Amino acid sequence: MFTLSQQKWIKPTLLACSLLALSACTTYRDIPPNSPLGLVENQLGLPNYRCTLPDGRQRLVWSQQPMGQYAYGANVNQDGLIDKLQSLLTDAHFKRLNEGRWTPADVACEFGPPAEIDRTGLGEKNEVVWTYRYKQSNVWNSVMYVYFGRDGEAVTHYHSGPDPRYERWFYD
């Protein structure tokens, strides 16, 4: 069936494929609260955004923006342990923007960098808008538009809509 030289490669190849398949099944949900940062980085890689929270903890974000639809975040305490790894680009998490005043630095620290920054509107309605691509309800290809008003200093409102990259009629 197999030659002797082929047989010696079968076991290591099957083992490598099995390990690769198992590691591909690991998601952010598999990382428990109070995990060491090193464990999280071994599974997700290095965060691509970090900032310091008012209480001195570090906020880390693993974002797939500008082209991806997911971002994950966690806060790290002085002992190097994460509080809880959570999905950031969800309707429920975006509702945090209803609480208090949000500056661009606050939004970037909470959700990571946006996919796009632009201006929209005319005259007094001209506003800075940040766009986050996300999978709404884990089903629909969507974008969340976060508006910072004319001066770009604080969130004034936000809303979701379909991601134009996936709308066929948009390009016809």
21: phi then psi, degrees, rounded to nearest 5: -65, -40
Q: Go through the chain and tell me how many residues it has.
A: 172
Q: φ, ψ for residue 156 (rounded to 5)?
A: -105, -35
Q: Tens of pLDDT along the chain (172 residues)? A: 555 454 455 555 444 444 344 445 567 778 889 999 999 999 999 999 999 999 999 999 999 999 999 999 999 999 999 999 999 999 999 999 999 999 999 999 999 999 999 999 888 789 999 999 999 999 999 999 999 999 999 999 999 999 998 876 655 5
| Domain extent listing, the chain | 30-171
Extract the runs of DSSP E, i.e. beta strands, from 65-156: 71-76, 86-87, 116-120, 127-136, 140-147
